[in-house]
Structures are given as C-alpha cells and as structure tokens.
Structure 1
C-alpha cells in the first residue's frame, strides 16, 4: 500500500509540475508551500487512513492527524523539495514512513522525475522498484568524499555549529551537495551515488524513511560525536544530528568534523 500510495502521489506531482504551480509563503524562515504539497498530502493521508483507520499520521503540512503516543504512526512528506519545484528545478521526491513505538519499520522514497521507487522494511533489506537490492560498495576517493548536507528549517544562518561543520566539510570533502530534498540524498546514499550525509537538526517528518532505507542498504548512522544514533521519532532536534556513510567510510568522515 505504501509504495502504491507514494507512486500515486508522485504521478500527481509529475502532472502538476508541468503547469503553473500555486506558491505561497510558509512560516517566517523563507520556506514555501505549494498547491501540489497539499494535494499530494491529501492523497497520501486518505489512502493511509482508508487502509489503517486507527493509525496516527504526522504530515508535513497538516501536522498530527489522530492521537499521539499510539503504537503505529505514519510520517508523510508529500513533496520533499518544495523550494526546488518553486523555482522550476525538477529535484523532488515523495516520502512515507511507518513507525512502531516511534521506531521506523517501513520507509518508501519515490522519485516522480525518474519514476523510480526505493523501499525498505526493517530487517528485510532495501530494494529498488526493479526488484534489485540496494547494497552500495565501499569506494575510497583520493580527492575526498562526495557528501550531502541537510539541516532543519529552524536552524539559523548564524548558527555557530553549522558554520563550523560546513567549513570543515568544504575543506575535507570533494564536494558537498545541498539538494533541498533530504530524502533524495538518502536514496542516493543507499544506491552508492554519494559517499555520505551530514545532517544537523534534521526534520523529523522526512528523516525516518530515508534513514531506514540507507540502514537496510548497509549504511551506518552515528551521532556527530561518533556515538550511537537515536532513531526514534520521539527525540529532540539535537537527536536528529548525524553522520551517515558506509561502515568502512564512516571513520574518515567523522575525522573531517570539528572536535
């Protein structure tokens, strides 16, 4: 159901981006929301509640639907990459995750542009829509790793930790991508297209689907200090700061970070 719902939402987005997109401001940090976000979210929420009427949902735009604290909670990012769509950049995905007791058990990322879908179930691995299993090999580059960066909307431009992290990564990495679509970065990492991701206070609604996809593909995730990464959706924004890479690449990536 989750894969089919994400693909249906993706078809809606792909059709909608071919015409005029209604855009308006969202919050005070310069973010935006489009009519496509709302339409995609409505489709996903309706499909989930039809199949699982007793489950709670946390959606990007609507927030909590149902009762918090239950056993099963869905996380819905109907259009990850809204700011890209707003400027006509075809870089966006749909993300859906199902958590049990706050822990992600299922994750789906669908790319409407390439019509590709990647999904994972805890303990069963990660697969592409072709049926191929995701298991990126370890590859070391003499010029440094190719990384992606993500941060939460509430993080300010003058955040001292962000400035230090970005400066260190720019010095030590071959390239640092800022895609404005974190779930796409996770899919790229799970496929082996990039070497790692560094995140700072990432958004709770899109982190679980991407993180589970990467973990089930063999990627390891740690806190910024190298300690364990708490994957529960019930944690604070600080708990959603991380480094993610192939286990053999992770020590080198951690060494790039400021102490």
Structure 2
C-alpha cells in the first residue's frame, strides 16, 4: 500500500470509531443547521478533527480541505487532502445506517489516493492512481453494460437546489423508463464506491461539492469507469453536476440528461 494511502486509511478508521460511538448514542449528538436542508453534527466535527490530526501527524506541511474546517493551508500546497468526515449526515441523524468517511489526496492538482470507509459494514474502498481500486483489498471493476436496459442507477435528489427539481425529475423519468430500477440511498461517496464495485451501474447527481466526490471519482476511474459533468466534459468539480459509470453506458446516460439541462445545468 502507498504510504500516503496507508495514512488515509488510518485517518478514515479513526474517524469511523468516532462515528460508531456517536451512532450508538444518537440522543447525545448535537445538531446544527448550516443552511437549507444542510446539517452538521458534533460527530461531523469530531470525526473531521480525528482525520486532520492523523494526517498532520505524518504530513504537517500538507494542505487540508475539509467540509467543516474549510481550507487549512500548509507550506506544501502541492499536496491537498480533501475530506468529508461523514458523508450521509442526514442518514446518520435519522439513525439510517448508511454513511461513510471520504478522504482523497491530490498531488499537483491530480487525484492520487482515495479512501471511502463505511464504518457500519466495515467496508474499505481504496484506490491509488494507476494501481486500480479495491474493496477490502480485493480488486473491483465497474460493470460494462452496452445500454440502459437491466441496469440499476444510483442518484441523489437536489434537496439543496430545489430550483432544479423540474429539470432533475425530467432526467430521472427519462432514465427510469429505460433502466431496471433506480436507487437513492443518501451518500454520494458510497454511490460512487458502489459504481466502482459494480453494485450499481451508474450514478448522477446535481450540485455536489468536491469533498463529496473526490475520493469516489478516483475509485471509479481506477475501477475502469469514467466521471464527467452533465455535458460529458470535466467541469464537475466546479459545477457539482456529476455522472459516473462505464465509458459506454455513460454516453447513454448523457443522452437522457442533455435534453433537460437548460442554461443553469450545462455549465
């Protein structure tokens, strides 16, 4: 295992311990609203701190970009850790056991290492640039379908961007009519990890943040898949609009998304 991936795994497991302890005592978890339908808990903050401390112990000069802490600039900005300590906070608050720790490392602007850890199931998804993707040290690959029939797609509703509901529902309807079924589970990080593992065949969502998708993007790519924005370009980090699947299936998904984009979603 790459030394920096090893640290990312250690950090994810440390955060996982914090999350599991809190999940067993949800009545003691403090919840605050960050914005419309956007929540942060004391567990998010404590898990993020556990990750930061683990990374800083080994790499004190690296930059860290956290969902809760913002940008913690280091003296060596060539290395940027992008972390979401608890992806699926709403599930966590409600006692739904589906959430994950997401940690990615960019080196000179390129995704280099990735970890997504599901502390409930003990599932560890990892990827190193050019070295493939693994689930609990076993190689994983995206499913290579030729078309949408018999596929299951994962998605997320635009609950923070309800102005896009009409466009999203048009995309959903168009895709749903051609697929076997759709899933909306509440954690974009795990959705992407599941694409990489071949558990779902593709994923699309509107308005995500880099910490939601950075680790999952590398997992999908290293598992033989492709990640783009809604136009098939590479602006998803800025726009937050993301599609992930096998190369051939992604073209089919985009065919059903493009007619419903409008100006706001085509950037």
Instruction: Calculate the TM-score normalised by the size of structure 2.
Output: 0.85
> Pick from 229, 232, 249: which aligns with 2:234?
229
- 1:30 and 2:34 matched: no
- 1:84 and 2:98 matched: no
TM superposition shift of 1:225:
2.1
> Which protein is richer in helix relative to its size?
2
- 1:209 and 2:212 matched: no
Q: Is residue 88–residue 99 contact of structure 2 (8 Å, CA) maintained in 1?
A: yes
Partners of 2:135 and 2:101 in 1: CA distance: 15
> Pick from 80, 105, 109: which aligns with 1:73?
80
Q: Is residue 192–residue 216 contact of structure 2 (8 Å, CA) maintained in 1?
A: yes
- 1:44 and 2:51 matched: yes
Partners of 2:228 and 2:148 in 1: CA distance: 23
Partners of 1:241 and 1:67 in 2: CA distance: 29
Q: Secondary structure at the match of 1:50?
A: helix
Q: Secondary structure at the match of 2:71?
A: strand
> Pick from 108, 113, 118: which aligns with 1:106?
113
Q: Is residue 151–residue 201 contact of structure 1 (8 Å, CA) maintained in 2?
A: no
1:100-145 deviation per Cα after TM superposition (whole angstroms, max 9, x unaligned)? 233211110001011110110111111122x211123425688542
Partners of 1:159 and 1:67 in 2: CA distance: 39
Q: Secondary structure at the match of 1:173?
A: coil
Q: Is residue 164–residue 258 contact of structure 1 (8 Å, CA) maintained in 2?
A: no
The within-5 A match list for 1:5-20 is: 5-20=11-26
Q: Secondary structure at the match of 1:43?
A: helix
Partners of 2:100 and 2:175 in 1: CA distance: 25
Partners of 1:142 and 1:214 in 2: CA distance: 18
Q: Secondary structure at the match of 2:45?
A: helix
Structure 1: state its 5+ residue gaps.
none
Between the two proteins, the alignment pairs up a number of residues equal to: 252
Q: Secondary structure at the match of 1:218?
A: coil
Partners of 2:217 and 2:158 in 1: CA distance: 15
The within-5 A match list for 1:124-139 is: 124-129=131-136, 131-139=137-145
1:150-177 deviation per Cα after TM superposition (whole angstroms, max 9, x unaligned)? 3677423445533432332333333222
Q: Secondary structure at the match of 1:180?
A: coil
Partners of 1:50 and 1:143 in 2: CA distance: 49
> Pick from 164, 174, 179: which aligns with 1:173?
179
Two-structure CA RMSD over aligned residues (Å): 2.3
Q: Is residue 153–residue 203 contact of structure 1 (8 Å, CA) maintained in 2?
A: no
Structure 1 residues 32 and 94, CA gap change in structure 2 (3 angstroms): same
Q: Is residue 230–residue 258 contact of structure 2 (8 Å, CA) maintained in 1?
A: no
> Pick from 38, 44, 54: which aligns with 2:61?
54
Q: Is residue 148–residue 178 contact of structure 2 (8 Å, CA) maintained in 1?
A: no
Instruction: Calculate the TM-score normalised by the size of structure 1.
Output: 0.88
Residue 254 (structure 2) aligns with: 254
Q: Secondary structure at the match of 2:193?
A: helix
